[in-house]
Amino acid sequence: MLYRAAVLTVSDKGALGLRKDTSGPAIIAELSKLGIDVQAALILADDRENIAAQLKSWAIDEQLDLVITTGGTGPAPRDWTPEATRDVIDREMPGLSELLRAEGAKKTPMAVLSRGVAGLCGRCLIINLPGSTKAVREGMEVLLPLLPHTLQMVRGENTEHI
């Protein structure tokens, strides 16, 4: 089954070209292991309204199956990715973000500072990851085994339980 995805890097410095994005490409590389077609990758500044508008455009207008964000999940004054995500999701999937924090905390206590959320905007799964490439790689390691079944269920396929 082919799934279509997008990756959003949220970074003021990245959007200005002052920092090279390594987290977004790390997500794309991991998604390619599952054969997921990443159709878009974008860097936006930490702006709640613009983040929300982009997430909604990918989820509703382009009807993508998956959007993974990186950055803007911490407690810094300009970190608004979780709020922007909540602005567009219909249903939260707290188990995913809880698992990401719990597994991350096994490697660094700083993982609990992530306020990332996961949820559904229509039939699109949106997941927030922290901005560091290390955290992205570790988070994707947690998500990869879960994504195929999760995306099938979001589509309404393979919903029977044995």
pTM over 0.85: yes
Confidence of residue 161 (pLDDT cuts 50, 70, 90): low
The predicted model gives 128-147 an average pLDDT of 97
> pLDDT at position 157, please?
86
106's tokens: 């096994």
Domains and CATH numbers, the chain: 4-155 (3.40.980.10)
**Which tens digit of pLDDT belongs to each residue from 75-119?**
999 999 999 999 999 999 999 999 999 999 999 999 999 999 999
**Which tens digit of pLDDT belongs to each residue from 31-79?**
999 999 999 999 999 999 999 999 999 999 999 999 999 999 999 999 9
**Long-range pairs of 47-53 with CB within 8 A, sequence gap ≥ 24:** 47/80, 48/80, 48/83, 48/84, 48/87, 49/84, 51/8, 51/10, 51/80, 51/81, 51/84, 51/85, 52/84, 52/85, 52/87, 52/88
